[in-house]
Protein backbone atom coordinates (compact mmCIF):
# COMPACT_ATOMS: atom_id res chain seq x y z
CA UNK A 1 0.00 0.00 0.00
CA UNK A 2 2.83 2.39 0.85
CA UNK A 3 4.30 1.83 -2.62
CA UNK A 4 1.06 2.99 -4.24
CA UNK A 5 0.86 6.06 -1.99
CA UNK A 6 4.48 6.91 -2.76
CA UNK A 7 3.84 6.49 -6.51
CA UNK A 8 0.81 8.81 -6.33
CA UNK A 9 2.75 11.45 -4.35
CA UNK A 10 5.74 11.31 -6.72
CA UNK A 11 3.41 11.39 -9.74
CA UNK A 12 1.61 14.46 -8.42
CA UNK A 13 4.92 16.21 -7.69
CA UNK A 14 6.18 15.34 -11.18
CA UNK A 15 2.94 16.63 -12.71
CA UNK A 16 3.25 19.88 -10.74
CA UNK A 17 6.80 20.35 -12.04
CA UNK A 18 5.69 19.62 -15.62
CA UNK A 19 2.97 22.21 -15.29
CA UNK A 20 5.34 24.73 -13.69
CA UNK A 21 7.95 24.50 -16.50
CA UNK A 22 5.27 24.87 -19.17
CA UNK A 23 5.26 21.31 -20.50
CA UNK A 24 1.47 21.17 -20.20
CA UNK A 25 1.01 24.26 -22.36
CA UNK A 26 0.76 23.44 -26.09
CA UNK A 27 1.99 26.95 -26.95
CA UNK A 28 5.31 26.24 -25.19
CA UNK A 29 5.59 22.92 -27.04
CA UNK A 30 4.97 24.70 -30.37
CA UNK A 31 7.60 27.34 -29.60
CA UNK A 32 10.07 24.61 -28.68
CA UNK A 33 9.39 22.67 -31.88
CA UNK A 34 9.66 25.75 -34.12
CA UNK A 35 12.90 26.70 -32.30
CA UNK A 36 11.72 30.11 -31.08
CA UNK A 37 11.90 29.26 -27.36
CA UNK A 38 14.14 26.41 -26.23
CA UNK A 39 13.71 26.82 -22.47
CA UNK A 40 11.49 23.73 -22.29
CA UNK A 41 13.95 21.69 -24.38
CA UNK A 42 16.75 22.80 -22.07
CA UNK A 43 14.69 21.70 -19.05
CA UNK A 44 13.98 18.30 -20.61
CA UNK A 45 17.65 17.73 -21.48
CA UNK A 46 18.75 18.79 -17.99
CA UNK A 47 16.22 16.45 -16.35
CA UNK A 48 17.22 13.47 -18.51
CA UNK A 49 20.92 14.14 -17.96
CA UNK A 50 20.58 14.58 -14.21
CA UNK A 51 18.42 11.48 -13.92
CA UNK A 52 20.93 9.45 -15.92
CA UNK A 53 23.90 10.58 -13.82
CA UNK A 54 22.03 9.90 -10.56
CA UNK A 55 20.70 6.51 -11.68
CA UNK A 56 23.93 5.11 -13.07
CA UNK A 57 26.07 6.76 -10.40
CA UNK A 58 23.76 5.34 -7.73
CA UNK A 59 24.00 1.94 -9.36
CA UNK A 60 27.80 2.06 -9.29
CA UNK A 61 27.73 3.05 -5.59
CA UNK A 62 25.27 0.26 -4.78
CA UNK A 63 22.44 2.66 -3.94
CA UNK A 64 20.28 1.66 -6.93
CA UNK A 65 19.35 -1.99 -7.48
CA UNK A 66 19.83 -2.89 -11.15
CA UNK A 67 17.31 -5.68 -10.64
CA UNK A 68 14.65 -2.97 -11.07
CA UNK A 69 16.03 -2.08 -14.49
CA UNK A 70 13.58 -3.05 -17.21
CA UNK A 71 14.51 -2.95 -20.87
CA UNK A 72 11.82 -3.25 -23.52
CA UNK A 73 12.47 -5.25 -26.67
CA UNK A 74 13.23 -3.31 -29.85
CA UNK A 75 10.89 -4.02 -32.76
CA UNK A 76 9.92 -2.23 -35.96
CA UNK A 77 6.49 -1.27 -34.64
CA UNK A 78 7.97 0.68 -31.73
CA UNK A 79 9.93 2.88 -34.13
CA UNK A 80 6.80 3.51 -36.22
CA UNK A 81 4.87 4.22 -33.00
CA UNK A 82 7.59 6.64 -31.91
CA UNK A 83 7.25 8.57 -35.16
CA UNK A 84 3.48 8.64 -34.73
CA UNK A 85 3.85 9.84 -31.13
CA UNK A 86 6.21 12.61 -32.22
CA UNK A 87 3.86 13.73 -34.98
CA UNK A 88 0.91 13.69 -32.59
CA UNK A 89 2.91 15.64 -29.99
CA UNK A 90 3.74 18.29 -32.59
CA UNK A 91 0.12 18.52 -33.83
CA UNK A 92 -1.64 18.47 -30.45
CA UNK A 93 1.01 20.08 -28.28
CA UNK A 94 0.67 17.25 -25.76
CA UNK A 95 2.34 13.91 -25.17
CA UNK A 96 0.52 11.34 -22.98
CA UNK A 97 2.11 12.58 -19.74
CA UNK A 98 1.72 16.28 -20.40
CA UNK A 99 -1.82 15.70 -21.66
CA UNK A 100 -2.82 14.17 -18.31
CA UNK A 101 -1.17 17.08 -16.45
CA UNK A 102 -2.95 19.61 -18.67
CA UNK A 103 -6.29 17.85 -18.16
CA UNK A 104 -5.72 17.88 -14.39
CA UNK A 105 -5.00 21.61 -14.55
CA UNK A 106 -8.35 22.18 -16.28
CA UNK A 107 -7.49 22.50 -19.99
CA UNK A 108 -10.51 21.35 -22.01
CA UNK A 109 -8.45 20.63 -25.15
CA UNK A 110 -6.38 18.19 -23.08
CA UNK A 111 -9.54 16.29 -22.16
CA UNK A 112 -10.21 15.69 -25.87
CA UNK A 113 -6.55 14.68 -26.35
CA UNK A 114 -6.82 12.27 -23.41
CA UNK A 115 -10.05 10.77 -24.79
CA UNK A 116 -8.41 10.38 -28.21
CA UNK A 117 -5.48 8.57 -26.61
CA UNK A 118 -7.80 6.13 -24.87
CA UNK A 119 -9.69 5.57 -28.13
CA UNK A 120 -6.40 4.93 -29.95
CA UNK A 121 -5.29 2.46 -27.26
CA UNK A 122 -8.63 0.64 -27.55
CA UNK A 123 -8.29 0.51 -31.35
CA UNK A 124 -4.79 -0.97 -30.95
CA UNK A 125 -6.07 -3.62 -28.55
CA UNK A 126 -8.85 -4.63 -30.92
CA UNK A 127 -6.49 -4.84 -33.91
CA UNK A 128 -3.54 -6.36 -31.99
CA UNK A 129 -3.79 -9.81 -33.66
CA UNK A 130 -3.40 -8.18 -37.09
CA UNK A 131 -0.36 -6.17 -35.93
CA UNK A 132 1.19 -9.29 -34.39
CA UNK A 133 0.64 -11.27 -37.61
CA UNK A 134 2.22 -8.46 -39.69
CA UNK A 135 5.65 -9.04 -38.14
CA UNK A 136 5.94 -5.44 -36.91
CA UNK A 137 6.08 -6.71 -33.32
CA UNK A 138 8.95 -9.17 -33.93
CA UNK A 139 12.22 -8.30 -32.14
CA UNK A 140 15.01 -6.59 -34.09
CA UNK A 141 18.61 -5.66 -33.20
CA UNK A 142 18.83 -8.39 -30.56
CA UNK A 143 15.56 -7.56 -28.83
CA UNK A 144 16.25 -6.65 -25.20
CA UNK A 145 19.66 -5.00 -25.39
CA UNK A 146 21.20 -1.83 -24.01
CA UNK A 147 23.77 0.50 -25.53
CA UNK A 148 26.40 -0.72 -23.04
CA UNK A 149 26.09 -3.71 -20.71
CA UNK A 150 25.34 -2.76 -17.09
CA UNK A 151 26.91 -5.22 -14.62
CA UNK A 152 24.27 -7.37 -12.93
CA UNK A 153 21.40 -6.17 -15.13
CA UNK A 154 21.35 -9.25 -17.36
CA UNK A 155 21.09 -7.41 -20.69
CA UNK A 156 23.62 -7.53 -23.49
CA UNK A 157 25.27 -4.32 -24.65
CA UNK A 158 25.58 -3.21 -28.27
CA UNK A 159 29.04 -1.69 -27.66
CA UNK A 160 31.96 -3.06 -25.67
CA UNK A 161 31.91 -0.28 -23.07
CA UNK A 162 30.53 -0.47 -19.52
CA UNK A 163 26.91 0.68 -19.60
CA UNK A 164 27.02 2.45 -16.25
CA UNK A 165 29.99 4.60 -17.30
CA UNK A 166 28.33 5.22 -20.67
CA UNK A 167 25.10 6.23 -18.92
CA UNK A 168 26.97 8.78 -16.79
CA UNK A 169 28.88 10.16 -19.80
CA UNK A 170 25.68 10.51 -21.84
CA UNK A 171 23.99 12.15 -18.86
CA UNK A 172 26.82 14.67 -18.54
CA UNK A 173 26.61 15.31 -22.31
CA UNK A 174 22.87 16.04 -22.00
CA UNK A 175 23.56 18.45 -19.11
CA UNK A 176 26.27 20.24 -21.12
CA UNK A 177 23.96 20.55 -24.14
CA UNK A 178 21.18 21.88 -21.88
CA UNK A 179 23.43 24.70 -20.69
CA UNK A 180 25.03 25.30 -24.10
CA UNK A 181 21.76 25.62 -26.05
CA UNK A 182 20.75 29.19 -26.74
CA UNK A 183 17.35 30.39 -25.57
CA UNK A 184 16.20 30.38 -29.19
CA UNK A 185 17.63 29.38 -32.55
CA UNK A 186 15.25 31.45 -34.64
CA UNK A 187 15.26 35.15 -33.72
CA UNK A 188 12.45 37.34 -32.41
CA UNK A 189 11.57 38.40 -35.96
CA UNK A 190 11.16 34.75 -36.96
CA UNK A 191 8.96 34.13 -33.91
CA UNK A 192 6.61 36.91 -34.97
CA UNK A 193 6.40 35.43 -38.47
CA UNK A 194 5.68 31.93 -37.16
CA UNK A 195 2.91 33.30 -34.93
CA UNK A 196 1.13 34.70 -37.99
pLDDT in tens, the chain (196 residues): 788 898 899 888 988 888 888 888 888 888 888 889 888 889 889 999 999 999 889 888 888 887 777 777 778 888 888 898 888 888 888 888 888 899 888 889 899 988 888 998 999 999 999 988 988 888 877 777 777 777 777 777 777 778 888 889 999 999 999 999 998 887 654 444 444 3
Contact of 77 with 136, CB cutoff 8 Å:
yes
Neighbours of 35 (CB within 10 A): 16
- Residue 67 CA to residue 118 CA, distance in Å, equals 31
On whether residue 114 sits in a domain, the answer given is yes
Give residue 174's pLDDT: 96
In a domain? residue 98 = yes
> Is 9 part of a structural domain of the chain?
no
pLDDT at residue 78, as a whole number: 83
> Domain for residue 89, yes or no?
yes
C-alpha distances (whole Å) from 100 to each of 18, 84, 104 are 10, 18, 6
Q: Distance between the two ends of the chain, CA-based, in angstroms?
A: 51
Q: What is the pLDDT of residue 123?
A: 94
pLDDT value at residue 125: 93
Provide the pLDDT for residue 122. Answer: 95
Number of Cβ within a 10 Å radius of residue 85? 13
In a domain, residue 48? The reply is yes
Domain that holds residue 54: 25-195
In a domain, 140, yes or no: yes
Within a domain: 11: no
pLDDT at 151: 73
When divided into structural domains, the chain yields a total of: 1
Tell me the whole-structure pTM to 2 decimals.
0.75
Q: What is the pLDDT of residue 159?
A: 73
19 found inside a domain: no
pLDDT for position 190: 45
Q: What integer pLDDT is reported at residue 188 of this predicted model? A: 59
Amino acid sequence: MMTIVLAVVIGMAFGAVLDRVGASNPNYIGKMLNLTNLNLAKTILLAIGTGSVLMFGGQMLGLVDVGHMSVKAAYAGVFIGGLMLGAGWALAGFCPGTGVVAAASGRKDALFFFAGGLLGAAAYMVTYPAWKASGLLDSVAGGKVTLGAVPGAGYEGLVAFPGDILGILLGVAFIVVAFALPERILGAGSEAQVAL
